[in-house]
Structure 1
Amino acid sequence: MDIAALITWVVTALGGFYMLGTWIQRGGIRQQESGTSRLPAPAVFGHFALAAIGLVVWIIYVVADKTALAWTSFGLLLPVALLGFVMLARWIPVYRDRATAGAPPAAATVQTGEATVPAERHFPLAVVLAHGLLAVASLVLVLLTALGIGGS
């Protein structure tokens, strides 16, 4: 079960890394001053940093098989999940605006016409959904492994 958790966590991280790159590339950091982006930079980077640290701890756990490391990873995942849910809640209105207004053209810049488009508006729905579902699966698998259920 520890390897299954590792695989789901890595795939989740790939989706998260894609969204982070998209957010940075589309001006998410610059939009902090204007308030255009609905995702606060501390939440974005805190989510990323805690998830990355937790993944490193989980990799060490898979190698060392020390229960304390499994629980440490789980403990790190809790604030990661909380930040993820906060960002999801702030992203949903941006997605709804995109769905009603139509997606901007692929060549659109951060500035479109008179209004500035939030950087997170460019997140593909499939990536957001896959990232969230895999994150929940990772959290459950890490918990079950830490509890000793399913073997390691």
Structure 2
Amino acid sequence: MDIAALIAWVVTALGGFYMLGTWIQRGGIQQQQSGTSRLPAPVVFGHFALAAIGLVVWIIYVVADKSALAWTSFGLLLPVALLGFVMLARWIPVYRDRATAGTAPAAGMAPAAATAAGAEGVVPAERNFPLAVVLAHGLFAVVTLVLVLLTALGIGGS
């Protein structure tokens, strides 16, 4: 089960790397000053850093098979999950505004789209996250959390 958790964690990380790269490339860091991005940089980078540290600890656990490392990884995943839910809650309105903007009349921008785009017409960087990537990242994150917990509890062997 530890290898299954490792695979799920790596797949989750790939989706996270894609979204982080998209957010940075589309100006997410610069949008912090204007308030255009709804994702605070400390939350984004805290989520990334804790998840990366947890993954490294998990890899060491897989090699060393020390129970304390499994529990440490699980402990690191809890704030990672909390930060992930915070970002999801802040991303949902941006996604909804994108859907509303897509159905706006050709003559002008819908009020919701104008609000989401900000006063300067700048689109939040996180609006570029594909729904499939967000959903897959979340699904694999939940699977990872459950597998790490079950492994730390000694259920299913290691």
Confirm or deny a common fold (TM above 0.5).
yes
Q: CA deviation at 1:70?
A: 0.1
Which one-letter code corresponds to 2:39 in the other structure?
L
> How many matched pairs?
145
Counterpart secondary structure, 1:115:
coil
Which one-letter code corresponds to 2:12 in the other structure?
T
Q: Which residue of 1 aligns with 2:157?
A: 151
Q: Which residue of 1 aligns with 2:121?
A: 115
Question: Structure 1, residues 30-51: CA drift from partner, whole Å, max 9, x if none?
Answer: 0000000000000000000000
Whole-angstrom distance in 2 between the partners of 1:134 and 1:14: 10
Q: CA deviation at 1:113?
A: 9.8
Q: Which residue of 1 aligns with 2:65?
A: 65
Q: Does 1:99 align with 2:105?
A: no
Structure 2 runs not aligned, ≥5 long: 104-116
Whole-angstrom distance in 1 between the partners of 2:119 and 2:98: 15
Give the greater-gyration-radius structure (CA): 2
Check whether the contact 2:71–2:152 (CA below 8 A) recurs between aligned residues: yes
Show structure 1 runs of 4+ deviating over 6 A: none
Q: CA deviation at 1:114?
A: 4.4
Which one-letter code corresponds to 2:139 in the other structure?
L
Q: Which residue of 2 aligns with 1:141?
A: 147
**Further displaced range: 111-120 or 5-14:** 111-120
Counterpart secondary structure, 1:80:
helix
Structure 1 runs not aligned, ≥5 long: 104-110
Structure-1-length-normalised TM-score: 0.93
Whole-angstrom distance in 2 between the partners of 1:49 and 1:114: 32
